[in-house]
Amino acid sequence: MKRYAGTIAMAAMILTMPLAQAADNLVPQMQAQYQSEGAGDFSAERGQQFWRQKHQAEKEPFTRSCESCHGTDLRQPGEHQRTGKVIEAMAPSVNAERFTDAKKIKKWFRRNCKWTIGRECTPQEKGDVLAWLNTL
Amino acid sequence: MKRLILLLTLLAVPTSLLAHPILGFPRHRGVEPLTNPLYSESCGECHFAYQPGLLPARSWKKLMAPAALEDHFGENAELDEEDRLAILKFLTSNAADTTWHYKRSIKITRSLAEDEAPLRITEVPYIKKKHSHIPRWAVQDNRKVRSLSYCNRCHTRADKGAFVRAEVDIPGYRNWADLF
C-alpha cells in the first residue's frame, strides 16, 4: 500500500489542480467600474491607438509609449526599458494570469500611465486599453 | 566522569550563547533574509526585493516618501497609502541600524555617519568600497547586469541575504574569485 501512496497523492493533486488554478479575467468587472466613473462605451481600436501612441517626456528616455517595456508583440514577453527585467506576455491568450488581480491592474495603470504619458489615464482610456488587450 | 560532565557543561554554555540570535557575538554573516509577500509584490517587480538590513531606517524613510516613490530613480514606484505605510513599517523596523546579529548590516551601519542617509545601497561607503575594483565592462557595459543595483545578477544567493565573494558569478564572466 505504501508503495502506491505517493502515486495516489500525485493523482489527487493533479485532479484538484485546475480548481485551484482558475482565476477569473477581471476585464468586464473593471470596465463596469470605469463606466461608473464616467466612461462611455469601450473600443478596442481606440485602445490599440492609445497603446502605440508615442509621448514626449522632459527626461530620458524622451520618447515613451506603452511599447517601451511591453514590446510590440504582446504575445511575447517584453523587457523593462531600464532594468532589462523580463515582463511576461500581456496577451491573456498566452498568459492566463493577466488581468486576474484588481489591485495589480490598478497599481500598474497608475505607475505606467504617469511614467509614460505624464498623468493618470482616464477611466475611458483604461477601459479602451483593456478592451484591446483582452482580444489578444 | 562527573568532572567530565561538568567540563562539558561549562563548555556548552558559552557556545550556546555564541550562537544565540540576540546575545550571540560572532553573528550571522549576511543580512537577515527577511521576506514579506506585500513587500515582494510591491518592490520586487523591477529589481530583487532588497532586504531591509541593507540600509538604515533613515534611508528607507526618505525612499518611501510619496514624492520620492513617484520619481524613484526616474521610474514610478507609487503605492496606495495603506501599502506604503505597511512597507515603510516593515523596512524601518528591520533596518540595518536595528540589527545587532547580522555582520553585513553592522558594517553598513558603521560605515555611515549618523546623519548620512544615502538613497542607494551602492552609495553606502562599505558597499561602494567592496565593488571599487570591478571594471565597467563587467557591470554597466554588461547587458546582462546593467548596474550594480541588481545585486542578485551577480550574488547567486542574494535572495538568502548572502553576499559573499566566493558566491559571486558575474553573468558572462565566470569565476570572479579566480580572476584576481
* Cβ–Cβ gap B47/A114 under 8 Å: no
Provide the mean pLDDT of chain A.
88
Q: Is B170 helix (H, G, I), strand (E, B) or coil?
A: strand
Q: Is B54 exposed, middle or buried (0-12, 13-18, 19+ CB in 10 A)?
A: buried
B80 close to B86: Cβ distance less than 8 angstroms:
no
**pLDDT for residue A131:** 97
B121 close to B55: Cβ distance less than 8 angstroms:
yes
Which of A66-70, A113-117, B100-104 has the least mean pLDDT? Answer: B100-104
The better pLDDT of the pair B169, B28 is held by B169
Provide the mean pLDDT of chain B.
87
**pLDDT for residue B174:** 60
**pLDDT for residue B29:** 85
* Cβ–Cβ gap A107/B143 under 8 Å: no
Banded pLDDT at B90 (limits 50, 70, 90) = very high
- Calculate mean pLDDT across residues B94-106: 92
Q: Is B75 helix (H, G, I), strand (E, B) or coil?
A: strand
Banded pLDDT at B101 (limits 50, 70, 90) = confident
**pLDDT for residue B76:** 96
List the grid coordinates of A68. Answer: 517601451
For an interface test with B, which of A69, A103, A107, A112 has the most B Cβ atoms less than 10 Å from its Cβ?
A: A107
**pLDDT for residue B26:** 42
**Cα–Cα distances in angstroms (integers) from residue B118 to residues B33, B39, B54, B110, B124, in the given order:** 21, 20, 11, 13, 7
**pLDDT for residue A22:** 59
Kindly list the residues from chain B whose CB atom is less than 8 angstroms away from the CB atom of residue A83: 46-47, 146-147, 150
% of chain A exceeding 70 in pLDDT: 84
% of chain B exceeding 90 in pLDDT: 73
**pLDDT for residue A21:** 53
List CB contacts of A15: < 8 A, sequence separation 6 or more: none
Write out pLDDT tens, residues B14-64: 444 444 555 555 478 889 998 899 999 999 999 999 999 999 999 999 999
Residues of A in CB contact (< 8 Å) with B are 59-60, 80, 82-85, 104, 106-107, 110-112, 114-115
ipTM of the prediction: 0.79
Which of A17-26, A49-58, A111-120, B3-12 has the least mean pLDDT? Answer: B3-12
CA–CA distance, B88 with A94 (Å, rounded to integer): 36
List the grid coordinates of A41. Answer: 462605451
DSSP code of residue B102: B
The residues spanned by each domain of chain A are 26-133
**pLDDT for residue B7:** 58
- Calculate mean pLDDT across residues B73-78: 96
- Calculate mean pLDDT across residues B137-141: 91
CATH class name, domain A26-133: mainly alpha
* HEC per residue, chain A: CHHHHHHHHHHHHHHHHHHHHCCCCCHHHHHHHHHHCCCCCCCHHHHHHHHHCCEECCCCCCEECCHHHHCCCCCCCEECCCCCCEECCCCCCCCCCCCCCHHHHHHHHHHHHHHHHCCCCCHHHHHHHHHHHCCC
- Calculate mean pLDDT across residues B145-174: 92
For an interface test with A, which of B38, B43, B45 has the most A Cβ atoms less than 10 Å from its Cβ?
A: B45
Q: Residue B105 is which amino acid?
A: S
- Calculate mean pLDDT across residues A44-59: 95
The better pLDDT of the pair B27, A45 is held by A45
List CB contacts of B139: < 8 A, sequence separation 6 or more: B131, B145, B146, B147, B148
